[in-house]
Amino acid sequence: AEVGIVMFAFQICFLLFAVLYIVSYCIITRYKKKSDDHEDEDAVVNRISLYLCTFTLAVSGGAVFLLPFSIISNEILLSFPKNYYIQWLNGSLIHGLWNLVSLFSNLCLFVLMPFAYFFLESEGFAGSKKGIRARILETFVMLFLLALLILGIVWVASALIDNDAASMESLYDLWEFYLPYLYSCISLMGGLLLLMCTPVGLSRMFTVMGQLLVKPTILEDLDEQIYCIHLQEEALQRRLNGMSVGDVLLNKELDNIRNQRNKLERRKKASGWEKNLLYPIVMLILLTGTTISVLMVALNILYLLVDETAMPKGSTVSLPGIGNTSLSTFGVAQAALEIILMFYLMVSSVVGFYSLRVFEVLTPRKDDTTMTTCVNLLSNPLLKALGLDKLQLSNSPTDPESGKLSANGHQKTL
């Protein structure tokens, strides 16, 4: 019976990943720039990079949905503890999924995405025979040099900042010391990126939804505005027709005026409930979600300041297993609210990421996003996922099992 439950759980995991992979493939192909070539080596390289990006996006989706899936699974097991048909939904399955997501997230971030980026940019070494093999060889050489560069930077930084005997060691303890330290640094970067993007996204969400929805018409004459816009459009069109060579600025201004006219016409054609009911309801939901999120953050900060046992270093009690007790005070209602807030904050962080001027150029556009941009974009959700669930810095500078210095001893550095 246990073997059957394990096999059924494996099939469920495979089906979930297959669905994520198909959805990811549809999303990437929707935004990826269409290419005309189908047989040359550039097309093969783009196809391989597309598969790697699809796998990475599927892993990122799994990392996003895993925590809500864990909460829902816990509530289901509490509601139906003796049901035979959900026996496959147990703690070992959840822990296995977390381990798989962690493993594949690291694989994608440290191996697949750098490989896809260098593979797209490679052309083969000078003097060598052109082809896929030459590009693969150049890609592996670049990955090897990049790994040496990053490990060297980490080794020098740890030796300079923590000037002790353990930091001055050679690369002999690479696996037990420097790689975990590098991993903690990457997780810290993901956490900082998440903390930077989410507040910006929360404030930006109102503007974005205001652009997507139709605002109520209060003391506005849309017919007069459309008439004025139409006159401006005709005037610009006559100026362009009188020129032998089209002006770029005039064409851009004409496009902006046409966009304004389309928005006004959409507002005019919108129904009454869409203008007067949908917009206030959505804005009220956004305001409620933002308020609850800010209050929960403030309460958690206050709780951490007052109760020392809430900190990771002070907690000695292990968490109960899945299906044993509810982690929500108000049961299913609070669990549903937490899941809604998770997705709301996730969407806010994505909106905040593309609202920052540094990353604004990476905004994907339909049928006009290069594969290199796709690779850069997919590194962001992986970085955030690692920053969310893997930034665990111990207060002890040594590993309790082996007694050796671990990367967590650099807590004061990070």
245-275: per-residue pLDDT in tens? 556 777 777 778 888 777 777 777 777 777 7
pTM of the full structure: 0.74
Tokens of 413: 């550095």
Phi then psi for 378, rounded to 5 degrees? -75, -15
What is the C-alpha separation between 71 and 65, in angstroms, rounded?
10
Q: How confident is the model at residue 232 (pLDDT cuts 50, 70, 90)?
A: confident
Q: 101-110, 203-212, 281-290 — which one is most confidently predicted on average?
A: 281-290
Q: Count the neighbouring beta carbons within 10 Å of the beta carbon of residue 323.
A: 20
Residue 107: partners with Cβ closer than 8 Å, 6 or more residues away: none
Among residues 179, 175, 176, 155, the alpha carbon closest in space to that of 167 is found at 155
Residue 148: partners with Cβ closer than 8 Å, 6 or more residues away: none
Tokens of 162: 């923590």
The whole-number pLDDT of residue 409 equals 42
What is the mean pLDDT of the segment spanning 168-180? 58
279-303: per-residue pLDDT in tens? 888 889 989 988 988 888 888 888 8
Among residues 69, 50, 54, the alpha carbon closest in space to that of 23 is found at 54
Tokens of 247: 């002006």
Residue 306: partners with Cβ closer than 8 Å, 6 or more residues away: none
323-382: per-residue pLDDT in tens? 667 666 667 888 888 888 888 888 888 888 888 888 777 777 777 777 777 776 776 666
Does residue 321 surpass a pLDDT of 70?
Answer: no
Cβ atoms of 85 and 4 closer than 8 Å: no
